[in-house]
Amino acid sequence: MQIPIESMNLVLLNVGFAQHNADWNWQNVSSPFMRIYYVTEGEALVHLCDKSVTLRPRHLYFIPAYAAHSYECHGVFKHYYLHAYEGFKNEINLLEIYELPAEVDGDENIEALFALLCSRHPDARLPESNPKSYDTSAQTSGYVARYRDMELWTKMELRGAMLIIMSYFLRKVRPRIWTRDQRMKRVLEHIHAHIADSIDVGVLADVSHVTKPYLIKLFKREFSISPIQYLNHKKIERAQLLLYTTDKTVKEVAYTLGFSDNNYFIRLFRKVTGTTPQEYRRSLRP
């Protein structure tokens, strides 16, 4: 299964170079944007929910959006970093189709590309390494505005550079198991194309040309959750990104995502994330 490169609508938040000495030890970090690192010297650890990854020189590392993780560093550690998110689109996300590796080999070309990005965008450097200092809606709104106001040629150059960096991970990707089932492909395409609508399981069954009970069985086998649970999780992920990157009110976010009942949206948000939309937004405002 192929995904068009146009669907990778990457928006830059931060890029820069950081030097640490046993002071990169942040716990329970989770954000609605992806993180990419290229290490130049020393070692550190990233602890994810299912594994720990050692960050080594001349290697690239990828941490998906919404992935809870922690950092551990006991000595000298120098690395380039890039934070970006995928802009809103009604298409299947790249990470829905492919399983990206956490680590791939880098080279002098990648290091030169990161250096170029840092020189081109010095204002995209993080204020400090503590995620609590930059992982806020106030900071992010400034980053988003900076990207929005860039000249077209600058955006094109930046997007090209980010796609080159992502290409190193794409060399090693593996299609997810469900991609072999065209029925699941049609269901996911419909969900993402209508993410702001109210979708009935019957409609998804019609799209996949199977009965409702069999669709639910197939979907649970592939994704371990029901189609409606999957849809709700994707809506709430989109809501988190809207709360993070825009000034929309909670009601406006709910309406944007097709919720006619604001109270139901708040209850669902809390069920999925463990916090209400208001509490989530307050946590992003130090």
Average pLDDT, the chain: 89
Question: Rounded to an integer, what distance in angstroms lies between the CA atom of residue 253 and that of residue 236?
Answer: 10
The predicted structure's pLDDT at residue 101 = 94
Residues 245, 140: Cα–Cα separation, whole Å: 6
Mean pLDDT of 69-80: 97
> How large a percentage of the chain has pLDDT more than 70?
93
pLDDT at 210: 95
**Range from 82-96, 100-114, 179-193, 214-228 that averages highest in pLDDT:** 100-114
- Could you report the per-residue pLDDT of 233-275, keeping only the tens digit for each? 999 999 998 988 888 999 999 999 999 899 999 999 999 999 9
Q: Max CA-CA distance within the chain?
A: 58
Please report the pLDDT score of residue 144 as a whole number: 81
Report phi then psi at 163, rounded to 5: -70, -35
Q: Which of 1-15, 44-58, 135-149 has the highest mean pLDDT?
A: 44-58
Q: Tokens for 146, please give them.
A: 């900076």
pLDDT at 1 over 50: no
Q: Which has more confidence, 35 or 178?
A: 35
* Mean pLDDT of the region 83-99: 77
Q: Which of 236, 210, 232 is nearest to 221 (CA)?
A: 210
CATH code, residues 177-283: 1.10.10.60
CATH label, 5-175, candidates 2.60.120.10, 3.30.470.20, 3.40.50.1000, 2.40.50.140: 2.60.120.10
Q: Which residue has the tokens 């020393």?
A: 42
Q: Given this model, what pLDDT does residue 125 score? A: 93
> What pLDDT sits at residue 282?
82
Over range 28-37, report the average pLDDT.
Answer: 91
In this prediction, residue 69 carries a pLDDT of 95
| pLDDT for residue 19 | 97
Is 66 within 8 Å of 106 (Cβ atoms)?
no
pLDDT at 88: 65
Of 184 and 80, the structure prediction assigns the larger pLDDT to 80
Query: Which of 135 and 122 is assigned the larger pLDDT?
Result: 122
Confidence label for 27 from pLDDT (cuts 50, 70 and 90): very high
Please state, in angstroms and as integers, the Cα–Cα distance from residue 242 to each residue in 102, 138, 177, 225, 245, following that order: 26, 13, 30, 24, 5
Domain range annotation of the chain: 5-175, 177-283
